[in-house]
Amino acid sequence: MATAGANRRKISAASARSHTRRTNKTTSSSSGILRTTLAVLFIGFLAWAYQVTQPPPPKICGSPDGPPITAPRIQLRDGRHLAYKEHGVPKDEAKYKIISVHGFTSCRHDAVVADTLSPDVVKELGVYFVSFDRPGYGESDPDPKRTLKSIALDIEELADKLELGSKFYVVGVSMGGQIVWNCLKYIPHRLAGAALLAPVVNYWWPDLPANLTADAFNEMKLQDQWALRVAHYTPWLTYWWNTQRWFPICSAVARSPDILSKQDKVLAIKFLEHKVNYAAQVRQQGEYESVHRDLNIAFGSWEHTPLDLQNPFPNNEGSVHVWQGDDDLLVPVTVQRYIAQNLSWIHYHELPGSGHLFPHIDGVSETIIKTLLGVK
């Protein structure tokens, strides 16, 4: 009986070990399948994430699948083309030659000062304007190597190719006004004068007081705070952020009326009536090379700031003017005031009750141009 019991116990122990081995083998196999599945999912996620963050290639004007070329263009030093549009008196008869720099999500047709200046004043003063499509906008080729300096050099080369002379004036609106700061940095010797109309500020310019920029930044809509953070800290995500549908995107990219002041909303009616004829041209080569790259450059890390600049006209042979509305919901007047107060050579003009679109107010363009040119 004892022997039979021992055999039973041996059989039971062997069965137990066999069962354990089968269980371990099954568990190990399940764990391996799970790890493989997770690895495949992770690789798939990375591939998807990479794909959605990569902008599509631009549709270059004049290419087989791109928009047609309808504007006159110059060829730049690196082979790119810059489209332009002339306004005012003929160039050879002009007393004053002015290059107009358009703003965000705009193009060469958005030359508000040239367009709203009365023909009589243009003829009386002898003013010639040329506006151009900034890289990636309208019919100008994209510039994947674009920097703060390169756009200033584009402007200088445009002046040379059009034979505007050794000196010329620049007038920039909004983002175009910000670009004029780069002209004052990199080509001051070519300027006869400059006007910056509601120039966009970069909240990460290091020599601005942190409390000042923080207060101004926090006044913006939350979606715009996030859009600018993305452009500054993770520019490789700018395309994805402004094309995804999970969170609200940058108001300016979405053309939201919420960023317009009371006055702006009235002026926008006239502004949009003018723009409807060419609005489709603005981003026709692709949103990344136009508006998204604009955000990355404007709110990225700058190698200089306006407060680093020296007076380009120490002998009063020219002047620099900043114009700003005190009810601008896009560009904080508090930061603009600080910059002007700390650059004694800046002529600062603040318009009470005006917003971002103040250049469209009747008569304002005449005041801006006569002040810039020093004529009455």
Residue 213 has pLDDT above 50, yes or no: yes
More confident residue, 98 or 259: 98
More confident residue, 271 or 105: 105
Distance CA 225, CA 215 (A): 12
Residue 187 has pLDDT above 90, yes or no: yes
pLDDT, tens only, 147-165: 999 999 999 999 999 999 9
Q: Three-class SS of residue 132? A: strand
Query: Average pLDDT, whole number, for the chain?
Result: 89
Collect all residues with Cβ–Cβ distance below 8 Å to 23 and sequence separation of at least 6: none
More confident residue, 48 or 72: 72
Work out the pLDDT band at 54, boundaries 50, 70, 90. Answer: confident
Rg (CA), the chain: 30
Reference 67, options 119, 107, 16; nearest CA is 107
So where are the chain's domains?
73-373
Predicted model pTM: 0.87
Identify which of 53-62, 255-264, 284-293 has the greatest average pLDDT.
284-293
Q: Please report the pLDDT score of residue 9 as a whole number.
A: 46
Q: Please report the pLDDT score of residue 205 as a whole number.
A: 96
pLDDT, tens only, 280-329: 999 999 999 999 999 999 999 999 999 999 999 999 999 999 999 999 99
Q: Please report the pLDDT score of residue 41 as a whole number.
A: 57
Q: Please report the pLDDT score of residue 33 as a whole number.
A: 75
Residue 5 has pLDDT above 90, yes or no: no
* Residue range 123-132: mean pLDDT, rounded: 97
* Residue range 8-27: mean pLDDT, rounded: 51
Superfamily for domain range 73-373: Alpha/Beta hydrolase fold, catalytic domain (3.40.50.1820)
pLDDT, tens only, 324-351: 999 999 999 999 999 999 999 999 999 9
* Residue range 254-258: mean pLDDT, rounded: 86
Q: Please report the pLDDT score of residue 83 as a whole number.
A: 98
Residue 293, classified by CB atoms within 10 Å of its CB into exposed (0-12), middle (13-18) or buried (19+), is: buried
Per-residue exposure over 65-103, b if at least 16 CB sit within 10 Å of its own CB, e if not: eebeeebebbebeeebbbbbbbbbbeeeebebbbbbbbb
Q: Please report the pLDDT score of residue 25 as a whole number.
A: 53
Residue 7 has pLDDT above 50, yes or no: no
More confident residue, 46 or 316: 316
* Residue range 208-216: mean pLDDT, rounded: 96
